[in-house]
């Protein structure tokens, strides 16, 4: 099989973009996680602590995904791929959980006796989300990257993103113009891009060239890093507000 110089050059350029994008995501996620941790330490409301823990977890998962992406460009391996997929899914699911926490911590949210789905039932659903991530990790380790892996990863990402978007939509109608709505608007693009990044692999399954799919993934990686930096500005402002109290 003969590989053209143009294809080799495109592969090399794609690897460089993926490496730089993964590095940007790692740095952005690290800064985001740092300020989320500052908010966790300064915030005195016990009910809000789970929300800040989720944001810290998003930062950790983002750093891990970006770091694994950089290492994977230099030295691809099944373990790196499996851990990278898991890190992305955890980042998406933590974003969804953060949206849920924002919703239930809102003073405008309905009381427990008026909720259509009890919080205890939502917790069980969320345990199922974590189970999907662990399943995807095992499938990658056993089978490598293939159609089954892309399907599990894509469906998992879609489920997590939709779950978070449901609460984000409810927050928009309840808390429009408030500080909660501002934070929601900063996190929403990160959630959407994370979900779409997880879906991108399905392009190969339906016949899209792998090079094009890889390019799309690199774009989403860069976008997530940029949106995390934007959200970090809001976290910095919150830290300044808490520090002056």
CB atoms within 10 A of CB 41: 10
Q: How many CB atoms lie within 10 A of CB 198?
A: 28
230, 218 Cβ separation under 8 angstroms: no
Domain count, the chain: 1
pLDDT averaged over the chain? 82
CATH number, domain containing residue 201: 1.20.1070.10
The predicted model gives 157-174 an average pLDDT of 84
pLDDT of residue 9: 47
With cut-offs at 50, 70 and 90, classify the pLDDT of residue 168. Answer: confident
pTM for the model stands at 0.87
Number of H helices and number of E strands within the chain? 8, 0
Domain membership of residue 1 (yes or no) is no
Q: Which residues contact 6 (CB under 8 A, 6 or more apart)?
A: none
- Does residue 227 lie in a domain region? yes
Of the given ranges (97-101, 137-141, 153-157, 230-234), which has the lowest mean pLDDT? 137-141
Per-residue pLDDT of 2-61, as tens digits, reads 444 444 444 667 788 889 999 999 999 999 999 999 999 988 778 788 889 999 999 999
- Kindly state whether residue 143 falls inside one of the protein's structural domains: yes
74 belongs to a structural domain: yes
Give domain status of residue 60, yes or no.
Answer: yes
Residue 12 is predicted with a pLDDT of: 64
> Within a domain: residue 202?
yes
pLDDT tens-digit readout, 59-98:
999 999 999 999 988 888 778 888 888 899 899 999 999 9
Digit-coded pLDDT (tens) for 213-225 = 888 888 999 999 9
Domain enclosing residue 125, as ranges: 7-243
pLDDT score for 107: 62
**Which residue has better confidence, 241 or 234?**
234
Q: Supply the pLDDT for residue 15.
A: 81
**Residue 98 maps to a domain:** yes
pLDDT (0 to 100) of residue 11:
60
Residue 2 lies in a domain: no
């Amino acid at each position: 099989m003969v590989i053209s110089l143009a294809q080799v050059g495109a592969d090399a350029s794609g690897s460089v973009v993926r490496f730089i994008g993964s590095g940007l995501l790692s740095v952005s996620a690290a800064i985001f996680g740092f300020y989320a941790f500052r908010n966790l330490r300064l915030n005195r409301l016990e009910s809000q602590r789970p929300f800040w823990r989720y944001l810290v977890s998003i930062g950790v998962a983002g750093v891990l995904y970006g770091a694994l992406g950089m290492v994977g460009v230099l030295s691809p391996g099944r373990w790196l791929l499996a851990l990278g997929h898991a890190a992305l899914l955890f980042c998406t699911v933590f974003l969804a959980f953060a949206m849920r926490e924002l919703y239930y911590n809102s003073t405008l949210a309905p009381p427990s006796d008026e909720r259509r789905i009890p919080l205890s039932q939502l917790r069980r659903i969320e345990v199922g989300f974590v189970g999907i991530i662990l399943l995807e990790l095992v499938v990658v380790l056993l089978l490598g990257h293939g159609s089954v892996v892309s399907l599990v990863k894509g469906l998992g990402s879609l489920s997590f993103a939709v779950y978070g978007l449901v609460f984000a939509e409810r927050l928009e109608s309840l808390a429009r113009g408030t500080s909660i709505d501002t934070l929601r608007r900063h996190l929403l693009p990160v959630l959407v891009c994370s979900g779409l990044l997880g879906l991108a692999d399905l392009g190969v399954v339906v016949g899209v060239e792998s090079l094009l799919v890889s390019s799309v993934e690199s774009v989403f990686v860069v976008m997530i890093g940029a949106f995390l930096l934007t959200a970090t500005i809001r976290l910095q402002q919150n830290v300044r507000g808490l520090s002056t109290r």
